[in-house]
Structures are given as C-alpha cells and as structure tokens.
Amino acid sequence: MMIWKTKISQMMGTKYPIIMGAFAVIGKAEFAAPFSEAGGLGIITALNYKNNDEFREELRKMKKLTDKPFGVNFSIMPPYFIEQRGRGRDENFYLEFTDTAIEEGVKVCTTSAYQAPKIGKKLHDAGCYWFHKCTTMKHAISAENAGADAITIVGLEGTGFKNPNQNTTLINMTMAKKMLKTPLIAAGGIGDARGFLAALAMGADAVCFGSAIMATTESLAPRAWKKKCIEQDIFDERFYKKIYHLTLKDSAIHSMAVGHCDEIVSIKEFIEDKVNGAIKILNSWGFEGTEFNTLEK
C-alpha cells in the first residue's frame, strides 16, 4: 500500500495526486462522483448549468453521491471569443456561482481559458484553494503573480482550448518547475502509468486526466464516442493536423492520451491501474518505500 503525498494532494484532500479534467456537457455529478470515490478529485463543470439554481442543485446531488472531496471548474471565455460569437461567460458571470460553491462546502475551484483574479480573491477570502489552468508559460507566470494556489499547464498533446504558442507537456513541466514556485498539475497526452509517474518526476505535484477517462464506464459520453476513443489511431494524419497544427477544431479527435485506451473500464479500475502500474515501475527501479512524498523536507 503506497501513500502518496504532494502539495496538491494535501490541498485537495485526496488519496492520490490525481484530478479530473473539466468537461463540457458530461462534466456532471454522475461522472465526477466515481472519480472522487476512486481517490482523485472529481470536477463538476459549471459551464454545463444555465443558472445558479441549477448549479447549486448539482452540487447537492454530488454530495449525496460521495462524501469525498470534489471541485468545480469555471471555464471563462476570453474577451475576443465573446466578441466573435456575440455571447459567452466572462468572469463576472461566475461570481455568484463561486459564492454558491463556497456555501456548499467546495474547497477547490479551478478556472480555465482566461484570467480570473476576482474568483481567486473570493476563494481565498473564504479559505478555499484556487487552481488555474492555462496553456502557455506566459499565462502560468501571470497566474502565479495573481496568487493561484496551483497551476495546471496543458501540453500541446492535449485537446480542448489550444494556443499557437503552446509547448509540449515535457517542456511545460520541466521549464515550469524551473521558473515557478507554485505547485504544478500536468495535463496533455497523459494516459498510462508511465505518463502519470513521468509527470511527477518532471515536477508536477498532480496529474489531470481528460481524454483518457472519456471511455470509462461512468463517463456520460455516448457509447459511440467511447468506441471512437478506443479505436482511434493516434498516428493518423488527422491527429497531427488538429493536435500540432491547430486545425480541424470541430472534429471528434481527442488527446493523444486515447492511444492508451484499449477497453471500457470503470473509473476505479482506470485510476487503480495507473497507481498500481506506477508502483510496479518504482519497485523495478529499486524503490522500496511505502510513501511517495514530494513535499519539501
């Protein structure tokens, strides 16, 4: 039995240094609760709720499904995005949602896509943690300066919101560890035990799983999408066009992490496979301890 201790697992209050990605449409309690039950931090995505009442109802549903820690994501649209589409949710839209999350006992809230200092202040005033997700080192430095308690940097191998100046997960983690003092969460292309352990070795204090959990039993994605994840060839030319050339934005192509998805399994099986696999690798390297601890001595 391995005990996992990192700065972020302590902030989250979870068994493992593992956090769920934010999902449009499917990032709901039925998906997030099993993730928390399995030892990670399940995430409810506020983007999926029309108003604050719906959001509060979902948080209360989550608390009925699990007594384990869980978090909330606020996906904030950049001003240019809102201007182009004529609609979208800015930081101010989520301020009431933030109050609700605090009132319902949520201790960790994540923000993504654009800066969120007002939300961060509300969380800190309430004694909660603010994790910010971004795609570039420039934005990571900005988030640190704004006071984020942890920063997720998504590597180019990931999907979702992309940036033309994005680097790979390898570069993001090793350079961020060199340039930042804030605890880091690795995301982008991670889908197996080696990727999980490698991210921690590169300087991450936790790992975020997104596309890799799309094909789990509890995922609310349609079975056809799960089948596509399992059967998708990550060496197909379309992957390079979307992942590395930022084209085909609306195509159903997921992160490179789906290359590790071979069958539909439960979230518990998914997480245990990554953790137990990492332990086997550590043992093969001669590690004989019962505690994986990245806290400063």
Q: Per residue in 54-78, pLDDT tens?
A: 999 999 999 999 999 999 999 999 8
User: 237-244: long-range contacts at Cβ-Cβ below 8 A with a sequence spacing of 24 or more?
Assistant: 242/159, 243/156, 243/157, 243/159, 244/156
Q: What is the mean pLDDT of residues 115-134?
A: 97
Q: Give residue for tokens 């989520």.
A: 94
- Domain ranges, residue 226: 3-293
Helix or strand run (H / E) with residue 285: none
Contact 9, 292 (CB under 8 A): no
Band the pLDDT of 253: cuts 50, 70, 90: low
For residues 160 and 174, give the distance between their C-alpha atoms in angstroms, rounded to a whole number.
Answer: 22
Q: What is the mean pLDDT of residues 50-54?
A: 97
Query: What is the pLDDT, as a whole number, of residue 297?
Result: 47
Q: What is the mean pLDDT of residues 78-99?
A: 92
Strand 150-154 vs strand 129-134: parallel, antiparallel, or unpaired? parallel
**Domain containing 110 — which CATH number?**
3.20.20.70
With 50 as the cut, is the pLDDT of residue 180 above it? Answer: yes
Task: Return the ∠ at Cα 293 (arms to 33 and 38), rounded to 5°.
Answer: 15
Query: What is the pLDDT, as a whole number, of residue 276?
Result: 97
- Number of domains present in the structure of the chain: 1
Side chain identity at residue 162, one-letter code: K
With 80 as the cut, is the pLDDT of residue 248 above it? Answer: no
Kindly report the pTM of this predicted structure: 0.95
Contact 128, 102 (CB under 8 A): yes
Q: What is the mean pLDDT of residues 215-236?
A: 92
Q: Per residue in 137-159, pLDDT tens?
A: 999 999 999 999 999 999 988 87
With 90 as the cut, is the pLDDT of residue 7 above it? Answer: yes
For residues 233 and 95, give the distance between their C-alpha atoms in angstroms, rounded to a whole number.
Answer: 41
For residues 173 and 180, give the distance between their C-alpha atoms in angstroms, rounded to a whole number.
Answer: 10
